[in-house]
Structure 1
Amino acid sequence: MTGDLPTAFVSALAIGALAALPLMLGAWLALRRSLPGRLVGLVAAFGAGALICAITFELVLDAVARGGPVALGFWLAAGAIAYFLGSELLERRVRSGAAASRGIAILMGAMLDGIPESFILGLSIATGTGLSVPFLLAVVISNFPEGMASAAELRGQPGFSDRRILVMWGIVIAVSALAAAVGATVSASGNAGAVAAAEAFAAGALLTMLIDDLVPEARERGGLGAGLVSVMGFAVAFVLHQIGR
């Protein structure tokens, strides 16, 4: 696998950027026109369901097969704690009330979400099993409403022009691409324990993000139908997973 590292590295960079691109697309749409909040919520609900399925079948099962249940539990908890602590720091910045602080918090929050997602995409590229289409789909769908909601909040704030907001998302895309490349590098090392730890750590972080951020946003904006749409997202991701086996 080491000889294929340059190719995997470049491929991971491209896929990581592609998966994060809906953040900018969603932000661009929110800056150009006001989309119905219910539509944003239902898209977020579909993405949440797809992401739950992808985490379960693409990350957790693979991590336990590579590293065992004890290691899985440890790294799941570590990822959840790391995400919680990062979110807590960002929440304090948001409570400061300054527009600049909110903008930085949104930027860092998107990176906090995107790094484990992109890292896992990089892992899947370099393991030899090929790109995980269900996981890629889940990431793309969940990123779209996040970009929309964040840009809508920043629009009109002092010091945040449309151009600056889009540049912020460009930074997030670049960081996500680098995270995917790092994931490909870890996977190409051939260390099964390291891959299992990375998968479980990312799964813990993503599950915490889902419960703290994406699911509440989907329910608040999407209303009662959010749960139904979320199950549909899970079903679509599961079907894709089974087809790709």
Structure 2
Amino acid sequence: MSGLLVAGGWGLVAGSALLIGALVGYLVRVPVGLVAAVMAFGSGVLLSAVSFELIAEAHRNAGLLPTVLGAVAGAVIYTVANVVLARRGARHRKRSGDQQPSEAEQSGSGTAIALGALLDGIPESVVVGASLLGGGAVSAVTVAAVFISNVPEGLSSASGMRRAGRGRGYVFGLWTAITAASGVAAMLGYGLLGGADPAVLATITALAGGAILTMIADTMIPEAFSSARLWTGLITVAGFLTAFALTQLES
């Protein structure tokens, strides 16, 4: 039971960055270029975490084939779900400009955006919980990577929601719920995978990695490039190297 609570606590810590970012994005008029730059940095951080904490770890524990199958499955599942939600108004849920539709422009888009935010956050949180299974201690790099990347996600999305005319109750209620769901997902990642065969655990880790990598390409990089453009690559590399440095310190 204590392990479940610890996993849930770390999931809440990582997920709380979404709420922090949303508060800043909704209450403060952050320049779009700055939002894009922070999103590029967060993308780099997550890319590093996927590479060194998820895919590499899955390969060490289960080999190439389960890692590839898991990553492809995660990418396919995320893509299918994202396509469905995009058609219902969640396509630009992480965009900070005026791309998000209002409820008047597309009925049901608010629900689709909420489900999209949940879709984006669940794989990350499951990985946070599962990272406790190896040696009983959560991966500091995983938590740091998710936290750092969640701040610009919440910031950008909430800024776009404000521009689309969505009220404070909807925005803060949504991100509070997603933060709570992050804690629950981390608990599920720990509880459901606790007795799993190492190969199964590695495959699921790769699946989460594939889903996160697809999310970065589909939702985070487009927002980063939309305004940062010439600086996107440089800022992304800075985020990648920051997370990589944390990996080396942990090892």
The TM-score with structure 1 as length reference comes to 0.91
Distance 2:71 2:183 in 1: 23
Which residue is equivalent to 1:24?
19
Q: What one-letter code is carried by the residue in structure 2 that aligns with 1:116?
A: P
Query: How does 1:67-82 map onto structure 2 within 5 Å?
Result: 67-82=62-77
Which residue is equivalent to 2:82?
87
Distance 1:98 1:46 in 2: 28
Residue 90 of structure 2 contacts residue 112 of structure 2 at CA under 8 Å; is this kept in 1? no
Shift of 1:48: 0.8
Please, which runs of 5 or more residues in structure 1 have no aligned partner? Answer: 1-5
* 1:50 maps to which of 33, 45, 52: 45
Distance 2:26 2:223 in 1: 19
Shift of 1:92: 0.8
Shift of 1:187: 3.9
Residue 90 of structure 2 contacts residue 113 of structure 2 at CA under 8 Å; is this kept in 1? no
Which residue is equivalent to 1:218?
224
The 3 A distance-change label for structure 1 pair 208 and 186 is same
Distance 2:133 2:150 in 1: 23
Residue 42 of structure 1 contacts residue 222 of structure 1 at CA under 8 Å; is this kept in 2? yes
Alignment RMSD: 1.8
Larger helix proportion of the pair: 1
The 3 A distance-change label for structure 1 pair 129 and 218 is farther
The 3 A distance-change label for structure 1 pair 95 and 106 is closer
Query: How does 1:64-213 map onto structure 2 within 5 Å?
Result: 64-94=59-89, 99=103, 101-128=108-135, 130-155=137-162, 157=164, 160-213=166-219
Q: What one-letter code is carried by the residue in structure 1 that aligns with 2:113?
A: I
Residue 125 of structure 1 contacts residue 184 of structure 1 at CA under 8 Å; is this kept in 2? yes
Distance 2:90 2:67 in 1: 34
Distance 1:25 1:173 in 2: 10
Displaced runs of 4+ in structure 1, greater than 6 A?
none
Cα distance per residue 1:132-166 (max 9 Å; x no partner): 222222211221122122222222656x3202210
Distance 2:199 2:5 in 1: 24
Distance 1:52 1:28 in 2: 25
Distance 2:112 2:13 in 1: 23
Query: How does 1:30-45 map onto structure 2 within 5 Å?
Result: 30-45=25-40
Residue 38 of structure 1 contacts residue 223 of structure 1 at CA under 8 Å; is this kept in 2? no
Distance 2:236 2:69 in 1: 28
Shift of 1:190: 4.8
**Number of matched pairs:** 239
Distance 2:131 2:219 in 1: 25
Residue 90 of structure 2 contacts residue 116 of structure 2 at CA under 8 Å; is this kept in 1? no
Residue 44 of structure 1 contacts residue 141 of structure 1 at CA under 8 Å; is this kept in 2? no
Shift of 1:188: 2.2
- Identity in percent: 35
Where 2:108 maps in the other structure, the secondary structure is helix
Shift of 1:236: 1.1
Please, which runs of 5 or more residues in structure 2 have no aligned partner? Answer: 92-100
Shift of 1:89: 0.6
